[in-house]
Amino acid sequence: MQILRRAEYAAVFLIVLWLYAQSGASWWLFAALFLVPDLTMAGYAFGNRTGALVYNAGHSFLGVAALGLIMHLSGQDWLWPYALIWAAHIAFDRILGYGLKYASAFQDTHLGRIGRN
């Protein structure tokens, strides 16, 4: 099951990369912003509960969808590359097995436990 799940996220990642290439946005922008969602790990400085909440806000496709909706409703097409970079980051994390976090510990995710036991 894990291989299938990772393959699905790999497909999402490749589709997002293709969409990004079609957008004509700079690959330098992509490289510069790809790891920005990981800054949400700083939420763990305030404990596991806050950390999980902040991390999940930055690593959920719901955030990408919300940005896409805001972009569509406001006509702010310049946001498209940012939404794609964000989606690519999330898909890449899922390929690596990093999922949304539970408040119990950073290692406890909706995809299973990560790291060493």
Tens digit of each residue's pLDDT (9 = 90 or more) over 80-114: 999 999 999 999 999 998 999 999 988 888 888 77
With beta carbons less than 8 A apart as the criterion, state whether 84 and 65 touch.
no
- Identify the domain containing residue 88 by its residue range: 2-113
pLDDT of 114 reads 76
pLDDT at residue number 116: 62
State the total domains in the chain.
1
What gap in Å lies between CA 56 and CA 70, rounded to an integer? 19
Amino acid sitting at position 112: G
**pTM of the predicted model as reported, rounded to 2 decimal places:** 0.93
